[in-house]
């Protein structure tokens, strides 16, 4: 389905102040950016506005400072890294709104870039406070939302500002919505969806949706254990979300009525403890003995999943197959990651842990689309509307 909102390409921003909501919620380590993936993802929109002579004001959140300043969550280090990536100066404002922010915004010339301090230092950001939204809007003439990772939130800097200024999507937001919507609404078939992670409750909406849409749904990670327990299969000391057991039972019933094949692991790799040094056992079934915890899908499951992935025309992967960060339990996730990277079909990967797995195995450049959104990706794939997108003007 074509993206139906106006985008930054539709603007004539020369000489105008443009407030751009970006997602610079990146990890910091000792005052430096530890992973600049999300900063790089915003560069096309910023560079386009620079080339058109806009006066650019960037706004982002970082972490959860709970509406008050926290020096450890300042965006100052992000301004430094952004300047390096852009190859041009980036001014940093030590406040979000107020006298200093107004002065620094007014001093910008065409092509200049200013980054405001962490939006969540303001208590009104997450409550979509009208006063904060108005003050942010007063800094600019136009508004661009390029923060897909925050598009599922109705915050002052997303839905709020859009009530006051002409509002369009950035290039990243457009791409994210278009790519993910294509998977959920008009995929080339067969569509194979691989879901992992810890909790069924986190992804019940996704499982339900794709049982209606996908041709095969492959489950891994700790979220498989509620499915097993609901069938009377022993799970030992494995992480098993209690509230997920009844949910899993309902999903199995739904799968029985669906044309989608729901596949669960047929073998597992278990450990005595959650540790890289623990005793390890490869189980030839999906039943986990007492005293053991399942920490990865087994080799037979991994081969079967890889075969399904290789035959798909569209592949969506969200969530690891086990504790891939521990070497003895990384093979299942590695096999799936390599299958996704080597697939001939369209490959879309979402979820922070899946992306971390791709990075760990050196495969991040071998898939068609890596989503920057966590909760936003899930909600869009579930078929829910995103407030940050709904607030934008239509094309």
Question: Over the chain, what HEC string results?
Answer: CCCCECEHHHCCCCCCEEEEECCCCCCEECCEECCCHHHHHHHHHHHHHHHCCCEEEEECCCCCCCCCCCHHHCCHHHHHHHHHHHCCCCEECCCCCCHHHHHHHHCCCCCCEEECCCHHHCCCCCCCCHHHHHHHHCCCCEEEECCHHHCCCCCHHHHHHHHCCCEEECHHHHHHHHHHHHHHHCCCCCEEEEECCCCHHHHHHHHHHHHHHCCEEEECCCCHHHHHHHCCCCECCCCCCHHHHHHHHHHHHHHHCCCCEEECCCCEEEECCCCCCCCEEEECCCCECCCCEEEEECHHHHHHHHHHHHCCCEEEEECCCCCCCCHHHCHHHHHHHHHHHHCCCEEEEECHHHHHHHHHCCCCCCCCEECCCCHHHHHHHCCCCCHHHHCCCEC
In this prediction, residue 188 has a pLDDT band, given cuts at 50, 70 and 90, of: very high
CATH class of 8-172: alpha beta
**Which tokens sit at 14?**
């020369």
Residue 373 a catalytic site member: no
Mean pLDDT of the chain: 95
The pLDDT, as a whole number, for residue 355 is 85
In this prediction, residue 1 has a pLDDT band, given cuts at 50, 70 and 90, of: low
Mean pLDDT of 77-103: 98
Q: Look at residue 194 and tell me whether its pLDDT is greater than 70.
A: yes
Evaluate the omega torsion of the peptide bond into residue 190 and state whether it is cis, within 30 degrees of 0.
Answer: yes
The pLDDT, as a whole number, for residue 356 is 86
Q: Look at residue 43 and tell me whether its pLDDT is greater than 60.
A: yes
Stronger pLDDT, 373 or 218, i.e. the higher one: 218
Q: Look at residue 354 and tell me whether its pLDDT is greater than 90.
A: no
The residue from 205, 375, 383, 393 that is catalytic is 375
Residue 81 a catalytic site member: no
pTM of the shown model: 0.89
Q: Look at residue 284 and tell me whether its pLDDT is greater than 60.
A: yes
Judged by average pLDDT, the poorest of 43-47, 115-119, 176-180, 261-265 is: 176-180
Mean pLDDT of 240-256: 93
The residue from 199, 209, 229, 334 that is catalytic is 199
Q: What is the pLDDT of residues 291-349, one digit of tens each?
A: 999 999 999 999 999 999 999 999 999 999 999 999 999 999 999 999 999 999 999 99
Q: For domain 179-381, which architecture applies?
A: 3-Layer(aba) Sandwich (3.40)
Share of the chain above pLDDT 70, in %: 100
How far apart (Å, rounded) are the C-alpha atoms in residues 51 and 143? 17
The pLDDT, as a whole number, for residue 386 is 94
Stronger pLDDT, 355 or 43, i.e. the higher one: 43
The number of angstroms, rounded, from the C-alpha of 250 to the middle of its chain's C-alpha atoms is 27
Beta carbons of 393 and 9 less than 8 angstroms apart: no
The residue from 16, 21, 38, 179 that is catalytic is 38
Mean pLDDT of 30-49: 95
Q: Look at residue 202 and tell me whether its pLDDT is greater than 90.
A: no
Q: What is the pLDDT of residues 218-234, one digit of tens each?
A: 999 999 999 999 999 99
Residue 334 a catalytic site member: no
The residue from 53, 111, 342, 352 that is catalytic is 352
The pLDDT, as a whole number, for residue 234 is 97
Residue 199 a catalytic site member: yes
Span(s) in the chain for CATH 3.40.50.1260: 8-172, 179-381
């Amino acid at each position: 389905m074509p993206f139906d909102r106006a985008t930054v390409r539709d603007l004539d921003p020369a000489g105008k102040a443009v407030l751009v909501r970006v997602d610079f919620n990146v990890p910091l380590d000792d005052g430096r950016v530890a992973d600049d993936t999300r900063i790089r993802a915003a560069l096309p929109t910023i560079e386009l506005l620079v080339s058109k002579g806009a006066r650019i004001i960037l706004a982002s959140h970082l972490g959860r400072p709970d509406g008050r300043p926290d020096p450890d969550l300042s965006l100052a280090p992000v301004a430094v890294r952004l300047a390096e990536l852009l190859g041009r100066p980036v001014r940093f404002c030590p406040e979000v709104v107020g006298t200093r922010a107004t002065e620094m915004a007014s001093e910008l010339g065409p092509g200049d870039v200013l980054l405001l301090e962490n939006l969540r230092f303001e208590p009104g950001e997450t409550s979509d406070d009208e006063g904060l939204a108005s003050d942010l809007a007063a800094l600019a003439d136009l508004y661009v939302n390029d923060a897909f990772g925050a598009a599922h939130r109705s915050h002052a800097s997303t839905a709020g500002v859009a009530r006051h200024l002409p509002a369009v999507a950035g290039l990243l937001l457009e791409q994210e919505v278009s790519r993910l919507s294509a998977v959920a609404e008009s995929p080339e078939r067969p569509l194979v969806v691989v879901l992992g992670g810890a909790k069924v409750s986190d992804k019940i909406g996704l499982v339900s949706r794709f049982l209606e849409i996908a041709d095969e749904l492959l489950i891994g990670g700790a979220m498989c254990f509620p499915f097993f327990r609901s069938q009377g299969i022993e799970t030992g000391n494995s992480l098993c979300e209690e509230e997920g057991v009844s949910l899993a039972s309902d999903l199995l019933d739904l799968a029985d009525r669906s044309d989608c094949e729901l596949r669960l692991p047929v073998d597992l790799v278990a450990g005595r403890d959650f540790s890289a040094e623990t005793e390890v056992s490869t189980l030839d079934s999906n039943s986990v003995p007492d005293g053991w915890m399942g920490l990865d899908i087994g080799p037979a499951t991994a081969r079967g999943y890889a075969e399904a992935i290789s035959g798909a025309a569209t592949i969506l992967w969200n969530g690891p197959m086990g504790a891939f960060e521990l070497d003895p339990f990384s093979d299942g996730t590695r096999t799936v990651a390599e299958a996704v990277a080597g697939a001939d079909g369209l490959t879309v990967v979402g979820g922070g842990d899946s992306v971390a797995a791709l990075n760990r195995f050196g495969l991040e450049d071998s898939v068609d689309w890596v989503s920057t959104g966590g909760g936003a990706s899930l909600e869009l794939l579930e078929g829910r509307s995103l407030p940050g997108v709904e607030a934008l003007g239509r094309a």
